[in-house]
Amino acid sequence: MNIIETDVLIIGAGPSGSVAAGILRTKSKTPIDVLILEKSTFPRFSIGESLLPQSMAFIEEAGMLQAVVDYGFQFKNGAQFSYQGQRTHFDFREKFSSGWGTTFQVQRADFDQVLIKEAEKQGAIIKFRQEVISYEYDAALKKCIVTVCNHENDEKYQVKANFVLDASGFARVFPRLLNLESPSTLPVRQAIFTHIEDNISDKTFDRNKILITVHPSHIDVWYWLIPFSNGRCSFGVVAESTFFKKIEGASYDEKLKNLVHQDDYLSHLLSNANWPIPVQTIIGYSANVKSLVGQGYALLGNAGEFLDPVFSSGITIAVKSASLAANCLIQEREGNPVDWNEDFEQPLRLGVDVFRTYVEAWYEGKFQDIVFSKRQQTDIRNMLSSILAGYAWDVDNPFVYQSKRRLMALHELLTT
């Protein structure tokens, strides 16, 4: 069996894998060899298309910012919310935390391609149609041994690496191979979605913001509408699967079109939309693991934990994890001690837990009460805007520190 050796092996060529590679290749004082293995071919369709401003800092850290800016993605500066005729918005430039206040809404096939090309320019080696099928750690050699199937020729080979980053996203390679899966605390939900030619003629609609619409009769059901720069939108609905079974239609295409007409504002906006792409679905996407680190490896982004798409936190968590892990590896390369629990897992989970607080409050209806309240003070609103902009690790923000207690206290204040 052929053997390839590298310093760092990255499984998956999505945003977390590309950003980790970029940081490793550009920030280390001594060169770090990086090999990225991707099971699919690019470009490929993916959802998770509305970035948060916090993610821009990590794209910049990876040396990929200019390529992303130059591509011409749809500018994004905030989020709109709609419910039973009420509409409000958050401008991410009006926030408590310092840092980026704008970002982009991206078609992931293009965005992921931009990032992986930059990683390749920076010296990372990329191999597509490669499936990781086993992992072991050789303690004597202090090497990770990964067995791979090359689907170009169906031959197997091994990679010996000093460290492995699992950035495989929903494929969750190491959680499956190493029995790391842990039940999510969130209920099983389903999303149905597609890309449409929106033909929105309403001049009051702001294409620079994602639109999140609460179903008029079901507080725990919501729609996303993410405008792109080419006249298309990503459009989808999230609910428990039993909800979709009650919606008329023999197919998810029919169900999604029928759901548009259950909300007056969406029905108005999308009255002239074309639906060229079949509707897709994913179910049971929320996931967790027993640990994000192990002997010779760490889990990045969705490979470790995915909460829910409602606040578009997925890519932000992914690239934050990439930054933390890459910097830990650089510190080790430079001879400095690293505690992967203290320096990677604990800091990452801090922000993930903040996002979880807001996801749970959303499905309980409490965050909707806060969002649409007319009694919010400007400074409080700016603190919440920071969370929605992805700054879930800013412990100077009172709504990050002790997030659940403070959010529940705010809800009580605004609703009594």
pLDDT tens digits for range 166-185: 999 988 999 999 998 887 77
pLDDT at 274 over 90: yes
pLDDT digits (tens, 9 = 90+) for 342-364: 999 999 999 999 999 999 999 99
Q: Answer with the one of 253, 283, 313 that is the final residue of a domain.
A: 283
158: its two tokens: 């091994």
* pLDDT bracket for residue 31 (50, 70, 90): very high
pLDDT digits (tens, 9 = 90+) for 74-128: 999 999 999 999 999 999 999 999 999 999 999 999 999 999 999 999 999 999 9
Q: What are the CA-CA distances from residue 64 to residues 7, 43, 45, 355, 396 (Å)?
A: 22, 18, 21, 26, 28
Residue 366 lies in a domain: no
**Nearest one of 165, 191, 150 to 41, comparing CA atoms:** 150
Contact in structure between 292 and 166 (CB atoms under 8 Å): no
**Nearest one of 414, 412, 383, 413 to 400, comparing CA atoms:** 383
**Nearest one of 341, 291, 290, 287 to 314, comparing CA atoms:** 287
CA distance 287 to 303: 9
pLDDT for res 269: 97
Residues 202 and 295 in one domain: no
CA distance 325 to 315: 15
pLDDT at 315 over 80: yes
Residue 172 lies in a domain: yes
Q: Span 224-252, mean pLDDT?
A: 95
* pLDDT bracket for residue 46 (50, 70, 90): confident
Residues 262 and 148 in one domain: no
Residues 170 and 314 in one domain: yes
pLDDT for res 18: 98
Contact in structure between 19 and 59 (CB atoms under 8 Å): yes
Contact in structure between 311 and 388 (CB atoms under 8 Å): yes
Number of domains in the chain: 2
Residues 41 and 111 in one domain: yes
State the CATH number of the domain containing residue 295: 3.50.50.60
Residues 272 and 303 in one domain: no
Residues 267 and 318 in one domain: no
Q: Answer with the one of 296, 319, 352 that is the final residue of a domain.
A: 352
**Nearest one of 48, 77, 14 to 389, comparing CA atoms:** 77
State the CATH number of the domain containing residue 238: 3.30.9.100
Q: Mean pLDDT check: name the lowest of 15-19, 301-305, 354-358.
A: 301-305
SS3 69: helix
Residue 317 lies in a domain: yes
Residue 416 lies in a domain: no
Residues 52 and 141 in one domain: yes
CA distance 300 to 321: 5
Residues 202 and 313 in one domain: no
Q: Is the peptide bond before 31 cis (omega within 30 degrees of 0)?
A: no
pLDDT at 306 over 90: no
Residues 153 and 120 in one domain: yes
Residue 368 lies in a domain: no
Q: By percentage, how much of the chain surpasses pLDDT 90?
A: 90
Residues 151 and 19 in one domain: yes
Q: Answer with the one of 283, 318, 336 that is the final residue of a domain.
A: 283
Q: Span 259-280, mean pLDDT?
A: 96
Residues 268 and 327 in one domain: no
256: its two tokens: 């999604």
Residue 139 lies in a domain: yes
Residues 125 and 256 in one domain: no
Residue 18 lies in a domain: yes
Could you list the residue range(s) of the whole structural domain that residue 345 is in? 2-76+105-183+286-352
CA distance 367 to 369: 5
Q: Span 16-26, mean pLDDT?
A: 98
Residue 402 lies in a domain: no
pLDDT at 396 over 80: yes
What residue has token string 């709609």? 82
